[in-house]
Structure 1
């Protein structure tokens, strides 16, 4: 299996988790298998204030996996905050995000990275779009409504921004305006900055164990405000200039 041989891995996989103790070990094993396609990689688990055995399981896994890094929030700050903590700590130029519940299949990681890097520098993001979703009927209905409203307002050309599987250039990510729920608006904001977005169909699957830790109703009204804010950011963005240093 490929492992990082120096301080400059090619890909950093970021996994935000909160109270996912039963899902940590099997998902890490799958990520390791998928990342064998890369010459060097690292995996950063960001523990978003877990109160179960997640920290202990991660500590145990790290003993035999030198490419596994662990970050921890003292209290839960949300999924976008966890992804940002991972991105700031990452050492690779390409970031891959994946949910920690096992619904995202790590086998699609190489495809996302390939779409991002082989498409030339014009691509800033490769976003997964779920096929055959395994959520409840009510949750799928919520997602369809939210995606339809978002698409009509932002015109981001993406049918599913809620998929956790994404590959993005680190420099592109760090230039995005940060706010809670940023991960749900990345395609629109990446396009806002003049980059193209590659879309990759990925097969959804049931979560491995447990229940979702990031609910719908607790973010509904905030999501409406976020949508209005992103629309404003896009409307107020001027085309970036071509900068040339003069000597």
Structure 2
């Protein structure tokens, strides 16, 4: 295929049962937007590799990137984004809970956005998770929003459309994907929230529990707050709550 305008990047770990249906749903969208699709097999222990190889053999827009051992979601996203040739990236999870049809509206919104918009961030409505997961997510987003003041109500939603180079300019750390809106704003980009649908997981199980998410998020939240505080003063940057608007690094 010619150089694509859009790359759809999907991290996947032990998602063999979900990937055939997900890729089938993405196919028409990728054709319409002249997009490449990159699935990163993040050290899966099931038959994800075999499933992806079979899907790629039948569709030349699908590329597979492989991690021999699991490195986590942020690392998988980074590998896929670095492998992409397109200037615009769209992402979603490989578990089937992010209906790909949402990407049509998100990409269109990104294309028509004014200069200075770096990302369209999905915001899940009517989530299909368990009550405990929804409550934990709501609490985590409230704390994160209070500390970072990034204006994003659902930074955990994997549905995003953004400039590839804007992402590559972000500081890299293991759980970067949870803080992309705040760090994009740190670099002076505007973020647009976009309501998206959410589906229940049909196969497999989540790779994180609420306790693991909470423990992983605490040091990252502190670190991201520090990064925002120490950023050069740029128009449009919102400082964390604990610093004054006129603070100089």
Normalising by the smaller structure, the TM-score range is: over 0.9
For residue 224 of structure 1, what is the aligned residue in structure 2?
218
Correspondence for 1:23:
18
- 1-side partners of 2:104 and 2:114: how far apart? 16
- Alignment coverage as a number of residue pairs: 235
Counterpart for residue 27 of structure 2: 32
Residue in structure 2 matched with residue 49 of structure 1 by the alignment:
43
Normalised to the residue count of structure 2, the TM-score between the two structures is: 0.91
- Separation in structure 1 between the aligned mates of residue 59 and residue 31 of structure 2, nearest angstrom: 13
Q: Secondary structure at the match of 1:36?
A: helix
Match of 1:81 among 75, 78, 90: 75
Counterpart contact for 2:38–2:63, Cα < 8 Å: yes
In the alignment, which of 148, 153, 158 is matched to residue 159 of structure 1? 153
Report the CA distance between 1:121 and its aligned residue.
2.7
**TM-score, length of structure 1 as denominator length:** 0.92
Instruction: Give the conservation status (yes or no) of the 8 Å contact 2:12–2:42.
Output: yes
Distance 2:135 2:18 in 1: 26
- Paired residue for 1:191, among 185, 189, 195? 185
1:10 is aligned to 2:9: no
Instruction: Between 133-142 and 118-127, report the one with greater CA deviation.
Output: 118-127
User: CA shift at 1:105, angstroms?
Assistant: 0.7
How much does 1:43 deviate?
A: 0.5
SS of 1:100's partner is coil
Secondary structure of 1:95's match? Answer: strand
Contact 2:11 2:77 in 1 (8 A): yes
**Cα distance between partner residues in 1 of 2:35 and 2:90:** 11
| Rounded Cα–Cα distance in structure 1 between residues aligned with 2:210 and 2:172 | 21
For residue 174 of structure 2, the aligned residue among 180, 191, 204 is: 180
Q: Which residue in the other structure is 1:245 paired with? A: none
Cα shift at 1:240? 5.2
Query: How big is the shift at 1:99?
Result: 0.3
Counterpart in the other structure of 1:244? none
Q: RMSD across aligned C-alpha pairs, in angstroms?
A: 1.2
Q: Deviations over 1:88-128 (max 9, x none)?
A: 10000000110000000100112111222211331101000
CA deviations over 1:207-245 (Å, ceiling 9, x no partner): 13111123332342231010000000001101359xxxx
User: Is 2:199 aligned against 1:205?
Assistant: yes
- Equivalent of residue 230 in structure 2, options 232, 236, 240: 236
Cα distance in 2 for partners of 1:37, 1:214 equals 34
- Give the conservation status (yes or no) of the 8 Å contact 2:36–2:61: yes
3-state SS in 1 of match to 2:138? helix
Unpaired segments of 5 or more residues in structure 2?
236-249
Q: CA deviation at 1:33?
A: 2.0
